[in-house]
Structure 1
Amino acid sequence: MTFQFESLAAFLAMNNHGPFVWAAYGITLVVLITLVVMPVLQTRSFFRRQRRLQRLAEKQTGQ
């Protein structure tokens, strides 16, 4: 089995297509991470807000 590129630098350059390929990989990675992280952050924020509203409602009914 032979490797298609002579060196790591040639692999990263990908016959002068490297910047486009690696940019596409980078953008894809950023989008995938965003699609995972944003719902988690929104869920945490929602539950935090609900706990705060519940504490406020309990204070108002307790008075």
Structure 2
Amino acid sequence: MQWNSWGEFFAMGGYAGYVWGSFGLTLLALAWEVFALGLRRRKAIGRVRQVQSWAGQGLEHKE
């Protein structure tokens, strides 16, 4: 496809809603994944520290 102006490029031949919407949803999903990864990391580090503190006290973890 060939565009003669930036306006035509951003309009994407009448499919701008689909094209830019898909880009937006993809970026939103990637941002959410980075955020969720940070939460999972903090939770895992907390668990490791908790188990280490139990080991230092001579306690065993029982679930």
Q: Aligning the two structures, in what range does the TM-score lie when normalised by the shorter sequence?
A: 0.5 to 0.7
Structure 1 residue 25: Cα displacement: 0.5
CA distance in 2, matches of 1:4, 1:15: 10
Structure 2: give runs of 5+ residues left out of the alignment.
Answer: 57-63
- TM-score, normalising length: structure 2: 0.62
Tell me whether 8-17 or 27-36 shows the greater mean CA deviation.
27-36
Structure 1 residue 37: Cα displacement: 2.0
CA distance in 2, matches of 1:44, 1:9: 44
Detail structure 1 runs of 4+ shifted over 6 Å in the superposition: none
Instruction: Give the SS at the match of 2:4.
Output: coil
Structure 1: give runs of 5+ residues left out of the alignment.
Answer: 59-63
CA distance in 2, matches of 1:41, 1:7: 43
Aligned to 2:35: 37
Q: Give RMSD over aligned pairs.
A: 2.6
Higher relative contact order structure (alpha carbons within 8 Å, sequence separation ≥ 6): 2
